[in-house]
Amino acid sequence: MVGGFEVCERFILDRMRESRIPGLAVCVVEGDRVSYLRGFGFRDLDSGLPVNPGTLFGIGSVTKSFTALAVLQLVEKGRVDLDDSVDEYVDLGVKPFGEDITVHHLLTHSSGIPALAYAEAFIRGVLELDVSWLPVSSARDVITFMKGAGDWAYCKPGEKFFYLNEGYVILGEIIARATGLRYEDYVKKSILLPLKMERSYFFREEVERDGDFATPYIIDREGRHVKSKFPYGITADGGLISNVVDLANYIRMYLNRGVFEGFEVIDRDMIELMEKEHVRRFDGVFGPEYYGYGWGIIPNFHGYKLVHHSGSVLVHTAYVGYIPEKKIGVAILANASGYPLSNIGMYILTHLLGYDPEKLPFIEKDRILNKLTGTYETYKSTMKIEVKKRGCILEAVSRDKLTEFTWTLIPDEISKDKCTFYMISNWRKMPVEFTIKDGRVELILERYKLIKKT
């Protein structure tokens, strides 16, 4: 495996360089063995310490799969029912359009309540990125924060997907109420210890005792690495801190349908229930995508079901994905936000499946958009426009000594020879066209024809 992994290593390092990610760790699981482990870059820039496979990172919302697994363990034991009303466990009192929110609705983000952005406010407040402040330090605080959310509901429970961090905070409280243990203690006892995830933590003091923790960084507008801090706090929706060695065990358990080294963590039927397409999310580059219980589901990833989840607390990011039928999986952790780790994960999984990862739709489209960026000039350089890439869109900027004007270009059709976009001008949808031929790029923007400077 290692001998054939160079293409993935080059891709990872190139993406880290372009997006300025300081450090990153990767594990690959095939069958019941770990076939690849490696750290890239720096766990701390000041000291020059490298990332190694055991380096700790916050895994963000990948934690949701642990919370969902814990709930399903309790369902298996008859201590929780998926159709139970949330109000049987916590005093929430929120009934969208008069209907109960159930455990199932929280697991699938289908409560009918759009995101209330508690996590965004909490994280940005702790990291001192915003003047807003939301002092929530427990699940009870979040439940209090949600008390008036009934008026914020968009639809009845079960009708629509709305990613809701607050819902998984409530699930953590349900686990605590059903077991008489703190959420963190139950997860440690029933999941982390059986999986030998002995260096996975929830609390600052545990991380500080361990010592091998990736320094959190924010990459500012100029691409500088700003040392930050980690937002310790509420855990059930995104607070677990782990490493790719431990996460390899977690993936192995799913690939073995609930069993790890002969010990049954959960019944096979419950694993398959977690991976079921419970609610439709959106259409992506691989077609319709769904949400199960704590996992996102892509039914047709090169003809196979991909079970996966990303995570971010801004200063640390994560991705875990696996393909049950092929018994392969990957975990990736980084100490900044930058290039999507999900794209790196899908690149690796595509390579493992024997396909050319350079032909992935988002890779090909990114490569084409990169060719379109640069400085363009009109006839005899009478006007210049700078084209910049911002994620999946382009911006065309015209500036002089005192003024600046920006057109936002939305992709329509992207191919290697011709790319069409559109922009909105005075409430009119205006076509924009790039033509690529023999290394020359032409741009038709509104009334202008421009040529990219080489």
Judge contact between 261 and 194, C-beta under 8 A. Answer: no
Pair 30, 352: CB distance under 8 Å: yes
Residue 3 has pLDDT above 50, yes or no: no
Query: Looking at the predicted structure, is the pLDDT value of residue 2 above 70?
Result: no
- In the chain, % of residues over pLDDT 70: 99
Distances in whole angstroms, Cα of residue 163 to Cα of each of 64, 116, 118:
11, 10, 12
Q: Is the pLDDT of residue 301 over 70?
A: yes
Write the pLDDT tens digit of every residue in 314-350: 999 999 999 999 999 999 999 999 999 999 999 999 9
Percent of the chain beyond pLDDT 90?
93
Give the model's pLDDT for residue 4.
Answer: 74
Q: What is the mean pLDDT of residues 56-69?
A: 98
| C-alpha closest to that of 232 among 243, 240, 222, 221 | 240
Average pLDDT rounded to a whole number, residues 361-390? 95
The answer to whether residues 391 and 385 touch, using CB atoms and an 8 Å cutoff, is no
Domain assignments of the chain as residue spans, ordered by start:
2-359, 366-452
Maximum Cα interatomic distance, the chain, rounded to a whole number of Å: 77
Band of residue 439 on the pLDDT scale cut at 50, 70, 90: confident
- Rounded-to-integer distance, Cα 168 and Cα 63, Å: 10
Res 428 pLDDT > 70: yes
pLDDT for 311 beyond 90 = yes
Average pLDDT over residues 432-454: 94
Say what the pLDDT of residue 27 is: 98
Top-level CATH class of 2-359? alpha beta
Stretch 127-154: mean pLDDT, rounded?
90
Domains 2-359 and 366-452 share a fold: no
Question: Would you state the pLDDT for residue 454?
Answer: 76
> Can you tell me the distance from the alpha carbon of 130 to that of 105, in angstroms, rounded to the nearest whole number?
31
Q: What is the pLDDT of residue 324?
A: 98
Residue labelled with tokens 């300081």: 22
Poorest-pLDDT segment among 52-61, 130-139, 198-207, 444-453:
130-139
In CATH terms, the fold of domain 366-452 is: Lipocalin (2.40.128)
3-state secondary structure of 424: strand
Tokens matching residue 31 = 């069958």
pLDDT classification of 132: cutoffs 50, 70, 90: confident
Give the mean pLDDT of the chain. 95
Residue labelled with tokens 């209090």: 144
323-326 long-range CB contacts below 8 Å, 24 or more apart? 323/349, 323/353, 324/254, 324/255, 324/257, 324/275, 326/352, 326/353
What does the pLDDT read at residue 353?
96
Model pLDDT, residue 131: 74
pTM for this entry: 0.94
pLDDT for the residue numbered 133: 85
Question: In this structure, are residues 445 and 419 in contact, taking their beta carbons and an 8 Å threshold?
Answer: no
At 1 the pLDDT is: 41
H-assigned helices in 195-243: 204-210
